[in-house]
């Protein structure tokens, strides 16, 4: 036996005899001693176990986030400063964030578990000259397995016998019809052929749909093609989403900001000659309080709410961040079979020899003169469709049954009138099948279906002479026209009065052409994606011509130059494919490795790539993509386990709705983040300026925590559920490299932060200034500081003014951020009832902390008069008026910027 591992030997390039010799076995099978030796050498026919992630590891993984690190640091510093209330609140926020993430995300990776279930539990195998049934896990290279219709292939095998053998490989290769196998085929020594073209091989987990055969086990366990997919899934790193990357960067910025604030205030203390330790503690306290503690929870909850909305558009989200990722998708790589096309063959064209006419299936009318074509095809099948809709049989034959059903004809009804009495089964040599039926008058009629050339060779004209060249030419021309549309063509002939099923002297009746047709909604979805700047790419295991025909019909490709096949991909390096990718739209006859290469090629150009699929062969690429989308109905457990989200209706067009929702979720999260950061900047501005000029702090730490976690968080959540704008799918995908602060985000954050800080500081200074005016004293920083220090009731009242102004101004600021680039006077505020609720509740809570005695004592505030409330509320509307000015300036800047870009282009 060769020293090489069997999996490294190209068995498709060896004859059956050479393959047996290579593995030192025979058709009678291995001896018990040989089995034991090989089992010890190669291990069981099973997949490697993956250590499951426990609940503790899952919980800890939720904490593995830069923003959480900052919050944990804030907790430690708060505890050090004996601000235990602050520390407890921050810890609670961290725990809530982690629990929501664990509950929403998948509890474990199920990909390899599903792959294990695909393995056939029992295999029929020849050992020592006897046929025995054993657990499939006990198979070893060199075993001889028996393959029969209905059995699952238990390992990768080189066929050494194949009698009319057809294997259903769609889950592995994407091939939409069962593949006819040929044990005598031997691939050329220099040929590189894909899995779908290795007709002398059968692979683990594929199903035998017809015929029988013997297979030489040449690969087991992780060395099988399915095993390789398992390893690819295991090794492929899903990476981080654009949102995760942006929030991670934001966390770093906030961390640096905290350090800068601490350092700046420490320098101020040195310059002003203040107590250094006191100022250091104040600086650290300010930096901790300035962190938007509610941000991680707000982002997580907004994503979770988005998940609930996605359910309404038939999408199940397994991983929270993937909701946002869909919104930035610029390339959708889609599997063809079952995704862009219906997962069944359908007759779309017919040809009737009697009138030499091609018909579209929908136009073909069923009447006496034309009954024989459909009746004959329906009767000459072994497929069955029950009254309950159960479908059994070859997809090609099921398409013929469906053709009859579309015309109101059932096979059962026909066979009651004209039952089958004899038959000659299909085989790959004749490429024909014949059934004989007896009419109620006792006369026999035989129907023969098969390949066009073979049928025509056995047909005669009305005089009993071989069919004339003119008749053949017309039939072949019709078949060629169908083939140009990538249709699979079958011919039908009839013979009257013969019960023997002999296939000579037949009368040619006509042709049908069938294909797995596009889903009705697919062309519209592709067109909408194009309008949204999203490129649709088809990836399939089907042949090049079939793939191009479907892609052209759907609107994905318009030139054969946009198509590349698997053999060409095999000769390309990853770099060469990346260079060619922008001009390619269709990838045919691809392997699982090819699919991963394709995804990486588009990602190398900066694209955010979505991959859709339903088969085992799609799983590695689903995991390699930025977002993997599996089909919920036809999808295998493996594809669902590897995907980020699952379409419950298997509808390609649903992805369009999901992308729309994803875009809106990102926009909403961005608005929420910018709103929270502008609010925090307002707090920093207020505190830093006051301390820098030598005043006492305008706000207590509990004031800032209250605003960050309560007053700010409710409007931030309301921004997170804002409905999408009408033109959201007419805009191009956002640049994956564009940060949260792009498109004027930074300017808006700084502007509104400074505005809020300025009016808050103004409200803080009002009360000491009033006291100085009443006392006739000169106004100076020193005088103001003296009033605040000497009169605690004035200081408490000033802090109450600042606290109230800061809280309420941020409620008005949220209204402006609802549609940052639209006027607050033209936006329909009633469409977001959550914002109205957040505003009213936030306002009510802010009133409560000054007017309810228990809360007033906790927050050290004083009660305000109605006049003071009205004046402070009017002051708090300033951010709305600034918003209107900002919108006008931004729109003019953007128009000028876009014009410059157009001129440059």
The CA–CA distances, whole Å, from 251 to 255, 313, 362, 855 equal: 6, 33, 60, 32
Cα gap 23→34, rounded to integer Å: 11
Closest C-alpha to 628, from 604, 612, 606: 612
Mutual orientation of helices 371-379 and 395-406 as an angle, nearest 10°? Answer: 140
Q: Rounded to an integer, what distance in angstroms lies between the CA atom of residue 690 and that of residue 697?
A: 6
Cβ contact 538:561 at 8 Å: no
Is the Cβ–Cβ distance between 644 and 628 less than 8 Å? yes
Q: What torsion, rounded to 10 degrees, do the Cα atoms 422, 426, 430, 432 define? A: 80
**Do 49 and 108 touch, CB atoms closer than 8 A?**
no
Say how far apart CA 715 and CA 851 lie, in whole Å: 22
Question: Strand pairing partners for 612?
Answer: 334, 629
Instruction: Residue 490: name the closest of 545, 553, 426, 437 by CA.
Output: 426
Contact criterion met (CB below 8 Å) for 806 and 682:
yes
Both structure tokens of 759 = 């009016």
Q: Alpha helix locations (H) across 273-391?
A: 276-290, 295-312, 321-326, 371-379
Catalytic residue annotation: 335
Interaxial angle between packed helices 276-290 and 66-80, expressed in degrees from 0 to 180 and rounded to the nearest 10: 140
> How far is 511 from 513, CA to CA, in rounded Å?
7
Cβ burial, residue 133 (10 Å; 0-12/13-18/19+): exposed
Residue in 802, 801, 812, 805 with CA at minimum distance from that of residue 675: 812
Q: Write b or e for each residue in 834-858: b if 16 or more Cβ atoms lie within 10 A of its Cβ, otherwise e.
A: bbeebbebbbebbbebbeeeeebee
Which 3-state string (H, E, C) describes 581-627?
A: HHHCCEEECCCHHHHHHHHHHHHCCCCCEEEEECCHHHHHHHHHCCE
* Residue 51, helix vs strand vs coil: coil
Query: What six digits make up the tokens of 356?
Result: 């030499």
């Amino acid at each position: 036996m060769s020293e090489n591992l069997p999996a490294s030997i190209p068995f498709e390039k060896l004859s059956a005899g050479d393959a047996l010799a290579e593995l030192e076995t025979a058709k009678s099978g291995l001896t018990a001693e040989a089995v034991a030796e090989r089992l010890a050498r190669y291990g069981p026919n099973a997949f490697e176990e993956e250590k499951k992630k426990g609940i503790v590891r899952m919980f800890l993984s939720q904490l593995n986030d830069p923003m959480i690190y900052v919050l944990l640091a804030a907790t430690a510093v708060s505890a050090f400063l004996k601000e235990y209330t602050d520390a407890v609140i921050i810890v609670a926020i961290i725990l809530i964030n982690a629990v929501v993430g664990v509950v929403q995300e998948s509890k474990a990776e199920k990909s390899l578990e599903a792959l294990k279930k695909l393995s056939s539990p029992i295999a029929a195998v020849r050992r020592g000259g006897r046929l025995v049934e054993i657990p499939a896990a006990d198979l070893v290279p060199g075993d001889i397995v028996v393959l029969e219709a209905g059995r699952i292939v238990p390992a990768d095998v080189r066929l050494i016998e194949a009698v009319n053998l057809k294997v259903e490989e769609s889950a592995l290769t994407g091939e939409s019809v069962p593949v006819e196998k040929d044990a005598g085929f031997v691939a050329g020594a220099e040929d590189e052929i894909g899995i779908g073209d290795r007709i002398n091989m059968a692979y683990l987990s594929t199903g035998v749909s017809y015929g029988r055969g013997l297979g030489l086990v040449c690969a087991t366990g992780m060395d099988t093609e399915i095993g390789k997919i398992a390893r690819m899934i295991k090794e492929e790193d899903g990476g981080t989403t654009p949102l995760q990357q942006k929030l991670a960067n934001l966390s770093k910025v906030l961390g640096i900001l905290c350090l800068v604030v601490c350092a700046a205030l420490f320098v101020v203390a040195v310059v002003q000659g203040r107590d250094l330790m006191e100022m250091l503690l104040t600086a650290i306290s300010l930096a901790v309080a300035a962190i938007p503690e509610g941000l991680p929870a707000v982002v997580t909850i907004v994503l979770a709410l988005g998940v609930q909305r996605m359910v309404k558009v038939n999408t199940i989200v397994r991983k929270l961040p993937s909701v946002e990722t869909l919104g930035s998708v610029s390339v959708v790589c889609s599997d063809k079979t079952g995704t862009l096309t219906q997962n069944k063959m359908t007759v779309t064209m017919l040809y009737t020899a009697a009138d030499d006419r091609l018909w579209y299936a929908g136009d073909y009318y069923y009447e006496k003169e034309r009954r024989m074509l459909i009746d004959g095809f329906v009767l000459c099948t072994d497929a069955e469709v029950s009254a309950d809709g159960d479908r059994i049989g070859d997809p090609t034959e099921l398409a013929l049954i469906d053709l009859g059903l579309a015309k109101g004809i059932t096979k059962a009804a026909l066979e009651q009138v004209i039952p089958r009495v004899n038959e000659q089964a299909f085989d790959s040599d004749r490429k024909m099948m014949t059934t004989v039926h007896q009419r109620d008058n006792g006369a026999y009629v035989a129907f023969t279906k098969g390949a066009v050339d073979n049928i025509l060779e056995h047909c005669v004209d009305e005089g009993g002479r071989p069919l004339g060249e003119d008749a053949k030419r017309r039939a072949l021309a019709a078949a060629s026209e169908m083939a140009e549309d990538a249709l699979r063509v079958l011919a039908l002939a009839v013979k009257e009065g013969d019960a023997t099923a002999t296939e000579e002297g037949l009368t040619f009746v006509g042709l049908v052409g069938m294909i797995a047709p596009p889903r009705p909604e697919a062309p519209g979805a592709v067109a909408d994606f194009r309008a949204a700047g999203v490129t649709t790419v088809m990836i399939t295991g089907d042949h090049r011509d079939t793939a191009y025909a479907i892609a052209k019909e759907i609107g994905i490709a318009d030139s054969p130059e946009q198509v590349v096949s698997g053999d060409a991909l095999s000769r390309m390096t990853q770099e060469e494919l990346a260079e060619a990718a922008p001009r390619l739209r269709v990838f045919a006859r691809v392997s699982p490795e090819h699919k991963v290469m394709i995804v990486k090629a588009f990602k190398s150009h900066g694209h955010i790539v979505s991959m859709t699929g339903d088969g085992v062969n799609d799983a590695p690429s689903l995991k390699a993509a930025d977002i993997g989308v599996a089909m919920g109905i036809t999808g295998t457990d493996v594809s669902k386990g590897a995907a980020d989200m699952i379409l419950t209706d298997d509808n390609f067009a649903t992805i369009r709705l999901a992308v729309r929702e994803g875009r809106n979720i990102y926009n909403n999260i961005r608005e929420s983040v910018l709103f929270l950061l502008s609010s925090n900047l307002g707090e920093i501005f207020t505190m830093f300026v006051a301390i820098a000029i030598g005043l006492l702090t305008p706000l207590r730490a509990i004031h800032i925590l209250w605003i960050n976690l309560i007053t700010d968080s409710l409007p931030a959540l309301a921004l997170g559920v804002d409905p999408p704008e009408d033109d959201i799918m007419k805009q191009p995908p956002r640049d994956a490299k564009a940060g949260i602060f792009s498109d004027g985000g930074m300017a808006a954050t700084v502007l509104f932060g400074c505005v809020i800080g300025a009016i808050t500081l103004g409200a803080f200074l009002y009360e000491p200034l009033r006291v100085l005016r009443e006392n006739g004293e000169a106004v100076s920083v020193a005088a103001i500081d003296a009033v605040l220090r000497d009169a605690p009731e004035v200081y408490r009242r000033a802090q109450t003014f600042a606290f109230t102004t800061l809280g309420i101004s941020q409620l008005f600021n949220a209204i402006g951020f609802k549609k940052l680039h639209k006027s607050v006077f033209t936006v329909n505020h009633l469409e977001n009832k959550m914002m109205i609720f957040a505003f009213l509740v936030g306002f009510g809570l802010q009133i409560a902390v000054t007017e309810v005695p228990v809360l007033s004592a906790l927050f050290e505030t004083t009660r305000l008069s109605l006049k003071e409330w009205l004046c402070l509320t009017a002051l708090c509307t300033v951010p709305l008026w600034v918003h209107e000015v900002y919108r006008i300036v931004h729109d003019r800047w953007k128009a000028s910027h876009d014009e410059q870009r157009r001129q440059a282009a």
